[in-house]
Structure 1
Amino acid sequence: MRPMSPRKAAALPDGGSLRDHLIATAERVIAERGTVGLTVRAIAREASVADGVLYNHFADKEELLAHALTAHVRKVEQGLGTLPEPGTGTVEANLEAYVAYGLAMHRAILPAFTGFFSQPKVLARFAELGGPGEDWRDRLAGYLRAERDLGRLPRGARTDAAARIMVGFCHEVVISALFDERAPTEPAPEAVDDLVAVVLRGVAG
């Protein structure tokens, strides 16, 4: 029996490219099964292509996995809705919305990163794919700077430091729950209130 052509086996819908098909397949595997023990062979099987076909479209496995991880993060973000715009609502309520978004995002994506902690090349490629201003941290810092420019935050507000505090809060809550099943997966409402108060008024406020 003649072996099936890898390109023919991919059966791409709507004339899509095989490269995109491979990224979409890898993203789906990550979403459904996580990344622990994920192999290029498993992705090839899911995509109905021969193992070597992947290397016709990617320089190495790290490139494919980084693109798939990026696609996974983008898909998660699309399901989280929009973030408040500068100058709308109140700064307090908007920052609470940013925290809620950050917590939900990290809960959804951090499990996918755990399988790559031992593969720094994948994480480095992932970092290279993100443009400045695209991720939640950049948008949070940009929001704070915009509110400062609008006069809704003090002229001397240290917005980058404030953003780091909020990012660190989200990381601490989600990572604690990821590695300790006894840790709460949601912070108490007063904890978020206190966080926003410290960001806006300082630790002595």
Structure 2
Amino acid sequence: MPTGVALRDVREQLFAAADRILLSEGPTGLTSRAVTDSAGCAKGVLHRHFADFDAFLAEYVLDRATRLDTSLADSAGTGTVVDNVTAALTGVFESVAVAIVALITFRDELRARLRDTWPAGVPVLTEACEMIGRYLAEERALGRLAANADVDTLAAVLIGSTHLLFADRTGDRPGPATVRHTVTTVLGAVLNPG
């Protein structure tokens, strides 16, 4: 690998390389050499910016968790609740999120490091669950969901159910109709007509 090549945003370049590897090869293919090769830089670049590979992975996971599109709450009161939630869940799970969950499960040291800054849950899924919960709370306040709807439990069920749909990296990805059916089933009893 050539050295001395100026890299604009090294962290983002390395994180984007990790995305590509996770999506194509899964957590077993994610090594420091694979990341630096994919990023087009020398292996030492990663170790100049991160204490070790697990420190890199921890920062990568936290970065991706905070990058979830949180604009769902802005759509409260527009469109349909089912369509809005379906689009948000599809966006989360068609991203690198499912592969990150597998990565966290795969690497004991990464889980231990994440506990220092993320004390409960899996970062990407926890953030997505909070996003869905906030949106459902907005819709409940607007009267589009039943006043007694337990939005936090509904959000957790939606995240868990959708994660199961997308968890198989080798099979066909679920289409929008499958995700929509899940959302309709979970929210059906609390949706207000109109």
Summarize the Cα distance change of 1:31–1:174 in structure 2 as closer, same or farther, 3 Å threshold: closer
Question: Is 1:117 paired with 2:110?
Answer: no
Q: Which is worse superposed, 103-112 or 155-164? A: 103-112
Matching residue within 107, 123, 145 for 1:153: 145
Residue in 1 aligned with 2:88? 101
State whether residues 32 and 53 of structure 2, in contact with CA within 8 Å, keep that contact through their aligned partners in structure 1: yes
Larger Rg: 1
State whether residues 31 and 72 of structure 1, in contact with CA within 8 Å, keep that contact through their aligned partners in structure 2: no
Cα shift readout 1:51-70 (whole Å, capped 9, x = no counterpart): 33322211221222234445
CA RMSD after TM alignment: 3.9
State whether residues 27 and 69 of structure 1, in contact with CA within 8 Å, keep that contact through their aligned partners in structure 2: no
Query: Could you tell me how far apart the structure 1 residues matched to 2:179 and 2:89 are?
Result: 15
Residue in 2 aligned with 1:196? 187
State whether residues 58 and 113 of structure 2, in contact with CA within 8 Å, keep that contact through their aligned partners in structure 1: yes
Question: Is 1:55 paired with 2:55?
Answer: no
Query: Could you tell me how far apart the structure 2 residues matched to 1:131 and 1:180 are?
Result: 23
Matches within 5 A, 1:62-81: 62-69=54-61
State whether residues 66 and 125 of structure 1, in contact with CA within 8 Å, keep that contact through their aligned partners in structure 2: yes
Shift of 1:152: 3.6
AA aligned opposite 1:85: S
Query: Could you tell me how far apart the structure 2 residues matched to 1:39 and 1:50 are?
Result: 13
Other structure's SS at 2:22 match: helix
Shift of 1:39: 1.0
AA aligned opposite 2:10: L
Q: Which is worse superposed, 62-71 or 123-132? A: 123-132
Cα shift readout 1:164-205 (whole Å, capped 9, x = no counterpart): 222222123223xx1784x8834286554333213437xxxx
Identical aligned residues as a percent = 26
State whether residues 137 and 151 of structure 2, in contact with CA within 8 Å, keep that contact through their aligned partners in structure 1: yes
TM-score by length of 2: 0.68
State whether residues 22 and 54 of structure 1, in contact with CA within 8 Å, keep that contact through their aligned partners in structure 2: yes
Question: Is 1:185 paired with 2:177?
Answer: no
Question: Is 1:139 paired with 2:131?
Answer: yes
Residue in 2 aligned with 1:87? 77
Question: Is 1:163 paired with 2:155?
Answer: yes
AA aligned opposite 1:193: T
Gaps of 5+ in 2: none
Other structure's SS at 2:47 match: helix
AA aligned opposite 2:76: P
Other structure's SS at 2:28 match: coil
State whether residues 62 and 122 of structure 1, in contact with CA within 8 Å, keep that contact through their aligned partners in structure 2: yes
